[in-house]
Amino acid sequence: MAEETVIKVKNLKKYFENTKAVDGISFDVKKGEIFGFLGPNGAGKTTTIRCLMDLLRPDAGTVTIFGLDARKAAPQLKKKMGYLPGETGFYGNWTGAEHIRFVEKLSRPSPLAKQLVKDFELDAKFKVKNLSSGNRQKLGLILALMKQPELLILDEPTLGLDPLLQNKTYEILQEFAANGTTVFMSSHNLAEVERICWRVGIIKDGKLISVDSVRELKGKKIYNLTARFSQEAPEDFAMPGVEITKKMPGGVVLRIKGDINPVLEKLKQYELTDIEIAHESLEQVFLEFYK
Amino acid sequence: MLALIIQTVKKSKWGIFGYTLAAALMVWLLVMVYPSMAMQGEELRKAFESYPKELFQAFGISMEGFFATLEGYLGGEQYSITWPIILIMLVVSFGGGALAGEVERGTIGILLSQPLSRIKLFLGKYLAGLVVILTYVFASILVVVPFAQIYDVSYRLPNHLTLTILGSLFALAIFGVTMLFSSFFSERGKVTMLSAGLFMLMYFINVLANLKESLVNLKYLSLFHYFDYGKALLENRIEPLTISVFLGVSVVCTLIGIYWFNRRDIAAS
């Protein structure tokens, strides 16, 4: 496990008039790890990221990146950083290729850019104003990754991407991490951070509730399972963390906290005609596990 | 920073072309018409005597020189109102987009995620603006030279060069004010409205001060008072106070703008 600290946030506070967007959070991110920053909408994820990127100036606390003050050394640090904003703005009349060339001129030439365009299947000849939101997200990712940064800061990196491209993005991020890049990514998708992150910081209402390993996080899921049977629905689901929330003719809806496997094992005993599994929202997970 | 300057100037190329063309077409028309106006100068001057003299006073038009020379004529027809309005439109349009427009569009995220300090970003946009605006000033004023040659109208080149310097100083001052607003706000529209509103107010104050004796001191609050195109075109002179005011406003506004942009929150995505 990497030991060098790349990001050190200490007692960070940022207020907007009467709103405490970030209220005294502290955490470290180690070199080479993929750190997830998880929280519902309005929790303070984007505000924290903007403080890391020196777009917002903290009201209190310190942000240190690679041992340097994130504000005073901002231009120097950005040589080593790639950033994907939550909603990337582009120059509408420019093509993707023009954006890439412009970023190269502002930072340095990128031998990786062509490969990334290919990997993300982006047609870089189209003007951005004619691109879908998914394609714009791809362009944003390319602009963040093309500098081969030592630190990637990504605000909801797979927003608007189809499942295939989400998987591609995860692969690429894992490749970067394997090559020593530290990744700090925000998300409100529990499954996503479970999939690729090593550790996850949970933020709610501006406060950092916990920093968990992904293994601990896996135990904090809630499922809604709807099962329909060829015969009368059974009622014997007396298991830890399982609750029958609805009974209907030939069917049952279960609310399952944590591991779903015991319930699936139980269901094998019956003849099912249909089964549907949905995740509860992150807000519900937070209410249940992070009060 | 050079890449930023080039990109910004390139984005404005059609704007420079459009505004300069508009001013040039006006100059062409005026130079073309001037010889026949000059021939009827005496009759026209007598006709204008029936107009209230306050009307000419309000716009700083001197009847003595109006038809006597091309410079006097251009001063009254072009530089009293048309040329400054076109300049203000160009400056406000550019300035609004320079910083506030980048924040509004979200493209500030691309710029500030590169190894570029906020001060360099401000200066890059500022220098690009100078290129755009001074191109307009030089081209739109000195375009009189080829037209005067075509229509065989005599002109005094040194006076037009002096006007170019005066126009540049005036442009610097209004650009400084607009960039100051652009560093404060995150919406292009706000910058455009505030800047345009302020300059319209200054123009109005200057006109009012010329009309009413009791309000004459108000003129010192208006940048248009110091834009004495008549002196530049007819006397080949710029007052030292004019240079001080324009440079002073430009420098102070720019420095405040840099300071504010460097310390504010950027509300971009």
Domain ranges, ordered by start, for chain B = 2-263
CB within 8 Å: A55 and B105: no
Q: Which residues of chain B are within 8 Å of residue A85 when distances are taken between CB atoms?
A: 106, 109, 113, 268-269
CB within 8 Å: A89 and B4: no
Residue A89 is nearest to which of B4, B264, B269, comparing CB atoms? Answer: B269
> Mean pLDDT by 10-residue block, N- to C-terminus, for chain B (269 residues)?
88 87 90 83 67 62 67 86 91 93 93 94 95 92 92 91 96 97 95 95 90 85 92 92 96 97 81
Structural Rg of chain A based on CA atoms = 22
For CA atoms B75, B81, B86, B90, give the dihedral sign.
Answer: positive
A5-218 fold: Rossmann fold (3.40.50)
Map tokens 């077409």 to a residue: B25
Res A1 pLDDT > 50: no
CB of A53 less than 8 A from some CB of B = yes
- Contact status, residue A12 vs residue A44, Cβ threshold 8 Å: no
CB of A86 less than 8 A from some CB of B = yes
Tell me the pTM.
Answer: 0.85
Q: For the segment A149-168, what is each residue's pLDDT rounded down to a tens digit?
A: 999 999 999 988 888 889 99
Q: For the segment A18-32, what is each residue's pLDDT rounded down to a tens digit?
A: 889 999 999 999 999
The closest of A271, A208, A262, A207 to A35, measured between CA atoms, is A208
Model ipTM value:
0.83
Q: Taking all residues of chain A, what is their mean pLDDT, rounded to a whole number?
A: 90
- Give the separation between CA B87 and CA A15, rounded to whole angstroms: 41
User: How many interface pairs between A and B have CB atoms less than 8 angstroms apart?
Assistant: 77
**Average pLDDT value for residue range A223-239:** 88
CB of A99 less than 8 A from some CB of B = yes
The closest of A208, A189, A194, A186 to A290, measured between CA atoms, is A208
CA A227, A228, A232: angle at the middle one, nearest 5?
120
CB within 8 Å: A85 and B105: no
Residue B269 is nearest to which of A79, A86, A107, comparing CB atoms? Answer: A86
Residue B58's pLDDT is 60
Percent of chain A at pLDDT exceeding 90: 64
Domain ranges, ordered by start, for chain A = 5-218, 222-289
Res A3 pLDDT > 90: no
Residue B107 is nearest to which of A56, A86, A91, comparing CB atoms? Answer: A91
Residue B112 is nearest to which of A55, A86, A91, comparing CB atoms? Answer: A55
| Nearest chain B residue to A16, by CA | B265
Residue A48's pLDDT is 96
Which tokens belong to B61? 């038009």
Percent helix, strand, coil in chain B, to 5, is 85, 0, 15
CATH for the stretch A222-289:
3.30.70
Residue B185's pLDDT is 94
- Give the separation between CA B59 and CA B87, rounded to whole angstroms: 17
Q: How far is A71 from chain B (nearest CA, A)?
A: 10
Q: How far is A47 from chain B (nearest CA, A)?
A: 10
Residue A12's pLDDT is 96
Q: Which amino acid is at B59?
A: F
The closest of B262, B7, B268 to B118, measured between CA atoms, is B262
CB of A184 less than 8 A from some CB of B = no
CB of B9 less than 8 A from some CB of A = no
CB within 8 Å: A56 and B266: yes
For CA atoms A269, A273, A279, A284, give the dihedral sign.
Answer: negative
Residue B74's pLDDT is 87
Q: Which residues of chain B are within 8 Å of residue A78 when distances are taken between CB atoms?
A: 112-116
CB of A81 less than 8 A from some CB of B = yes
Q: Which residues of chain A are within 8 Å of residue B111 when distances are taken between CB atoms?
A: 106
Question: What are the Cα distances from residue B150, in Å, to A205, A263, B153?
Answer: 73, 94, 8
Among the ranges given (A80-89, A275-284, B26-35), the one the predictor scored with the smallest mean pLDDT: A275-284
Q: Which residues of chain A are within 8 Å of residue B113 when distances are taken between CB atoms?
A: 53, 78, 81-83, 85, 144
Q: Which DSSP helix (H) or strand (E) runs through A248?
A: strand A242-248
Q: For the segment A93-150, what is each residue's pLDDT rounded down to a tens digit?
A: 999 999 999 999 999 899 999 999 999 999 999 999 999 988 999 999 999 999 999 9
- Give the separation between CA B166 and CA B174, rounded to whole angstroms: 13
Among the ranges given (A34-43, A61-70, B50-59), the one the predictor scored with the smallest mean pLDDT: B50-59
DSSP A150-189: SEEEEESTTTT--HHHHHHHHHHHHHHHHTT-EEEEEES-
Residue B269's pLDDT is 43
